[in-house]
Amino acid sequence: MNKYSHKILVNATTLVKGGAIQVCFSFLLETLRDRNVQWHYALSSQVNDQFVEHASESDKERTTVFSVSPSKSKVVRRSLEKLVA
């Protein structure tokens, strides 16, 4: 039996500057407290720079970092689609 009630993918691949990164980072910190959900993270490198300082090794293993936005690359979009499947 799975110990998690849900699996959720956080897609923050398009956040690259400004206040949105800070808001996302605050949200990510909250996800680290919720151990009833198996969180998966798709992050821009800018968001990941802050996230890795607080994430556990298991959280880092469930993190995929994208240096290019999915809106600008078909290859990245396909990689993101695979995470959802």
Question: Which regions of the chain are under pLDDT 50?
Answer: 1
The answer to whether residues 24 and 51 touch, using CB atoms and an 8 Å cutoff, is no
Predicted TM-score (pTM) of this structure:
0.87
H or E segment to which residue 46 belongs: helix 45-51
**What does the domain layout of the chain look like in residue ranges?**
6-84
Instruction: Please tell me the predicted confidence (pLDDT) of residue 2.
Output: 64
Neighbours of 81 (CB within 10 A): 10
Closest residue by Cα to residue 59 from 68, 51, 49: 51
The answer to whether residues 37 and 8 touch, using CB atoms and an 8 Å cutoff, is yes
